[in-house]
């Protein structure tokens, strides 16, 4: 009797499903997973699939003709101005990510190491986040006010006699676009780098000092390597936001500074070329997926455990 019972697989002698712990766990999983899965399928995956479908078709004057042709992708990647703009957006994204990381680092360092009390750290964190709560559009416009020919900066420069006539290189060009994007997204970089630096135990710095390291060496050989995942996490966000922005270029950029998202909006709104717009959209989605995967891999490789 005992041996036959033992030979049976577990679960077979349990009648009611309500007392089966594994079934219970499965039911719980379905309960949590089903709603978000259905939602994301309906309102993300299906729209992306539709976008993909459009990208393979073509336009006959104002009517969409379904098809199965890579022509739009070829156009998106080879016909000017698209590859050029795609490259320019990427460079702008990279510059935004790089500059905001550089600008953010000293502030994050100071928060993590220079502020001893948690109260002060919380206070400075709030001060970092607060500007980000002001209207994005108005902040971008504020840079226009600052950088313009009769703007705050030029007026100040002329008042102290540093320049004789207003500098026109400040506004309506790439410099203004990248500066503004960097400004807008720096808080993300600060918080992300700070979150990583905060994890570094103080004893690490003390041990390094005890071993004879100078402050510079501590920074280069301890703080900087450990900070990499935080810098990367911040850079991925700032890059994406900079890459995909369409407001800043149209407010403070020149006519040549339009980015890829401006083109997509124009293709859909003005030119009514939905297939080409969709193809660029799919290219950007693919690009983003790759970026996310690369960021994940890099994070895993560079993250340290304490």
Determine if 273 is a binding residue for other proteins (CB under 8 A).
Answer: no
Q: Which is nearer to other proteins, 49 or 169 (CB)?
A: 49
Determine if 188 is a binding residue for other proteins (CB under 8 A).
Answer: no
- CA dihedral for 91, 94, 99, 102, sign (positive or negative): negative
Beta carbon of residue 217, minimum distance to other proteins (angstroms, whole number): 12
81-140 residues near other proteins, rule: CB under 8 A: 103-104, 106-107, 109-114, 122, 124, 126-139
Structure token pair of residue 161: 């006699």
Among 1, 4, 43, 162, binds other proteins (CB under 8 A): 43
Listed ranges 8-16, 71-79, 166-174, 224-232: which one lies at the site for other proteins (CB under 8 A): 8-16
Work out the number of other CB atoms within 10 angstroms of the CB of residue 216. Answer: 8
Determine if 142 is a binding residue for other proteins (CB under 8 A).
Answer: yes
Determine if 66 is a binding residue for other proteins (CB under 8 A).
Answer: no
**In b/e form, how buried is each residue of 4-35, taking b as 16+ CB within 10 angstroms?**
eeeeeeeeeeeeeeeeeeeeeeeeeeeeeeee
157-186 residues near other proteins, rule: CB under 8 A: 183, 186
Among 1, 10, 160, 270, binds other proteins (CB under 8 A): 10
Among 75, 246, 273, 298, binds other proteins (CB under 8 A): 246
147 vs 254: CA distance, rounded Å: 13
């Amino acid at each position: 009797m005992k041996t036959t019972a033992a030979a049976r697989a577990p679960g077979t002698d349990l009648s009611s499903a309500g007392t089966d712990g594994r079934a219970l766990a499965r039911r719980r999983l379905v309960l949590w997973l089903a709603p978000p899965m259905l939602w994301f399928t309906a309102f993300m995956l299906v729209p992306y699939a539709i976008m993909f479908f459009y990208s393979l078709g073509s336009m006959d004057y104002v009517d969409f003709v379904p098809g199965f042709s890579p022509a739009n992708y070829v156009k998106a990647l080879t016909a000017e101005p698209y590859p050029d703009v795609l490259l320019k957006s990427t460079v702008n994204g990279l510059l935004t990510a790089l500059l905001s990381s550089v600008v953010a680092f000293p502030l994050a360092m100071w928060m993590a190491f220079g502020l001893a009390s948690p109260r002060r750290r919380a206070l400075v964190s709030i001060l970092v986040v607060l500007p980000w709560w002001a209207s994005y559009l108005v902040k971008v416009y504020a840079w226009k006010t600052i950088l313009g020919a009769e703007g705050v900066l030029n007026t100040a420069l002329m008042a102290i006699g540093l320049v004789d006539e207003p500098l026109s290189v400040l506004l309506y060009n790439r410099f203004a676009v990248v500066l503004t994007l960097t400004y807008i997204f720096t808080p993300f970089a600060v918080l992300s780098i700070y979150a990583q630096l905060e994890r570094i135990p103080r004893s690490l710095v003390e041990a390094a000092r005890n071993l004879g390291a100078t402050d510079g060496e501590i920074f280069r050989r301890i703080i900087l390597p450990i900070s990499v995942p935080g810098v990367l996490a911040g850079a991925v966000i700032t890059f994406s936001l900079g890459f995909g922005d369409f407001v800043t270029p149209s407010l403070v950029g020149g006519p040549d500074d339009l980015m890829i998202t401006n083109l997509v909006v124009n293709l859909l709104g003005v030119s009514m070329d939905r297939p080409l717009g969709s193809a660029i959209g799919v290219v950007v989605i693919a690009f983003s997926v790759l970026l996310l995967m690369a960021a994940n891999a890099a994070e895993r490789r560079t993250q340290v455990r304490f």
